[in-house]
Amino acid sequence: MAFPKEAFLTHNWQMGEASGTRADLVGGMTLTDNNTVGSAAGLVYPLAANLIAANSEYLSHADDASLRIVGATTFEVWARWTSGTNAPLFCKRGATNEYESGYYSGYGGMYLDVLSGGSLSSARSPLVPVSGTWYHLVMWYDPADRKARIAVNGGAVAAGAALPGAPNVSAAAFAICRDLAAYWNGDIGPARMWNTLLDAADRTALYNGGAGLAYPSTSTPTLSIYGAKFGHKQVAHGGGMRYGDAS
């Protein structure tokens, strides 16, 4: 099976390490291990990152243009939630808030929030996760209508309101499984980003009937060194969240 939009894949964190830093096999953005992130049995790969909220465990990288939302941007992650009412996944939030995603009980399910000024595009899936179950999240921002969107397990697409302008550009660190004082409790992996949109067929391929899709797949892989893909034009895209809510 060909890997969807491979030429536009900017980051691919397999999360297959037993501990320590997590390598980005495409973009070179190795994630820092904060507070000793462990591992557990994975779904797509043998191992996934295991995070314990009580220990304030998370993964992060300093601000980089490729981790911002500028133009079309897609996030994908397999995640197994264990507990907690506020469980963040991809976040870029600090003095200026750009985006945030995860599970929030106040929203009633999984979500992606993208901010422009003080305005919020909040895409909310009604799916409430069941503890110990793997879920496939694809979340994206479409600059054509300036809306955030989310689809869980290859299902229906939920969209947020249109933003009045481009998303905020935040110098905050990129974090996986941390939003200020909130942390994900459970397992994740793989986690990926594209600087393009994925269509329904792409999302179905990545979900793969609930088994996920490894990268590279059975298609001929493209040699990638720190985000520069030989044979493809790779364009860096650079430059959420319950606005004002730190919990």
Q: Based on the fold, state whether residues 134 and 228 are members of the same structural domain.
A: no
Q: Based on the fold, state whether residues 175 and 230 are members of the same structural domain.
A: no
Q: Based on the fold, state whether residues 167 and 244 are members of the same structural domain.
A: no
Q: Based on the fold, state whether residues 202 and 234 are members of the same structural domain.
A: no
Do 61 and 31 form a contact (C-beta atoms < 8 A)? Answer: yes
3-state secondary structure of 41: strand
Q: Based on the fold, state whether residues 189 and 233 are members of the same structural domain.
A: no
Q: Which domain holds residue 153?
A: 6-210
Q: Based on the fold, state whether residues 101 and 220 are members of the same structural domain.
A: no
Average pLDDT over residues 54-78: 98
Q: Based on the fold, state whether residues 64 and 173 are members of the same structural domain.
A: yes
The answer to pTM > 0.75 is yes
Token pair recorded at residue 134 = 């793997």
CATH of the domain at 55: 2.60.120.200
Conformational region of residue 164, where left means phi above 0, alpha means psi within -120 to 50, and beta covers everything else: alpha
Q: Based on the fold, state whether residues 156 and 113 are members of the same structural domain.
A: yes
CA distance 164 to 158: 19
- Flag whether 28 is in a domain: yes
CA distance 237 to 69: 7
| pLDDT tens-place string over residues 197-210 | 999 999 999 999 99
| pLDDT tens-place string over residues 225-245 | 334 443 333 333 333 333 333
